[in-house]
Structure 1
């Protein structure tokens, strides 16, 4: 039995060491965007951002969309140059950005509660909606129906639409500052990054937890995850606002569907605390 356990441990360690990724990492505490190539470090680069940028979204034209505190900017991944930007005081407190198929962008802001804008590339507001009953949104994502999905009021999952109708509003046990939400199985459950709950959970609208990734004291704050095609999940383990808070623990952790850790990334010299990741494999 001891030999079997030892063999499994060795095998697990070998698997973790064999996994290598290419990824974009949003560095919160040092206000940067990093490209990391674990196959060839000579390809690595870093873009300096202004403080307060939160969301990153990959676009189809080899660009990355970054939310700014008063709008958004696009950067070319090949040249690392800024190629487009929208800044306007009316978009102050922007936290999140989503590009639509028509080329417009949805900005989500912690303004008068939570406010969402659909904006053209020329800064024109096509439509907007305010949810004064909610506050402290981090990332907003769209459901398959095109509805807003965001965390609010610390532990609430919210699903709402442009008419102002709220289709779901329920609390997640143990969550604090919900960061990211994905609607699953038509709303039978939601996948939620719980913030200071330091976990990714699958939870029903009734509050029943179906699966937990992480959730132990070795983690601090789970922000944006990235789901791989093999059903693994790479989680950002944010550990503080200070530049060197990244020394405290691994910045990225990859789980298999059963919750086993299969890969970690920890490079506190290269990067500060990470709150967004896009795997480019």
Structure 2
């Protein structure tokens, strides 16, 4: 360290920080390399652990897969395992239930506490609530009430589960009631018939096809239409005949009157 001064009455103290700067840069580089090494290590470890869980699931050893997912704190992978078993084919439902009951039966109280924490988080999402309710039902079916009470923090977990569960059940109830309206509408639709006017006949309603040597228009054959028109023509002829007869009578009367007038004038 050395000091310098000037005419302004200011004394400056100088320190040699070359070694300290080098040490600081070295420590910073070491921390950076350590962080990268840890990231690489955990990444490789995560891949290895994920591979162990996948291999256990492929071997249908779901008990080991569930234990690994809980021990390694893999809630997403645990949800995928439950979802895979819940969405299996109907003929595999019983086997899936057996796998779940067997896997849950091997868990301890601490593991159940961690599992219920995951269920609480899943239950807050409408898309994940089905799996959460399924797992919750299985846990309560396997464990007796005396063991459920002994789980650490079970009161807080249940208090967090109840309001969201009530909300999900209310939503399902509304959806179920809305389906009744659809059923009622579909049932009532055949009763409603459109109002049609027989005097107006559209082109698409006119169907012409050959049947027994004749054509039909709108379900009425030409022969039937001709039969319907014949009485109308006969009635018109009758009316014309009556009118012609009345005209002849009038003409005869006029002739009689004119002939009588001519005879009287000649006389």
Would the TM-score normalized by the shorter structure come out above 0.5?
no
Report the structure number with the largest CA radius of gyration.
2
Higher relative contact order (CA 8 A, sep 6+): 1
TM-score (norm 2): 0.23
Normalized per residue, which structure has more helix?
2
TM-score (norm 1): 0.22
